[in-house]
Amino acid sequence: MNASTRTAPLAFVGDALTAAGFRLAGVRTFAPQPGEERAAFAQALAAAAAVFVTPAVAAKLEPVELERALVAGAPLVAIVPAPDQVRGPPPFDPAERVRRQLGIER
């Protein structure tokens, strides 16, 4: 599915409270129950030109699935912090990903 056939310009996948705020801004939202994160992420990818995902949801996805979506470019995927989550490292380390792609050992 290309961006021109998607039904919403933006989608959010994450907790219900944060989803409510995104919904007020006109964003299509998905607040999956535990164990439903992968399905909600797939629905969001199919429905929007850009998808925002919380770190908690991103952590529940298969790393390869998340990385594939992040580098695909269409739809654009971004991991956004949720206010109820403790600030910490992202579920993946961008610097480590670059080192791995370049074949640089630590």
pLDDT tens sequence across 11-59: 999 999 889 989 999 999 999 999 999 999 999 999 999 999 999 999 9
CATH of the domain at 36: 3.40.50.10580
Q: Which structural domain range is residue 80 located in?
A: 3-102
Q: What is the mean pLDDT of the chain?
A: 84
Q: Does the pLDDT of residue 75 top 80, yes or no? A: yes
Cα distance between residue 85 and residue 69, in whole Å: 23
pLDDT of residue 2: 43
Cα distance between residue 74 and residue 32, in whole Å: 22
| Number of separate domains in the chain | 1
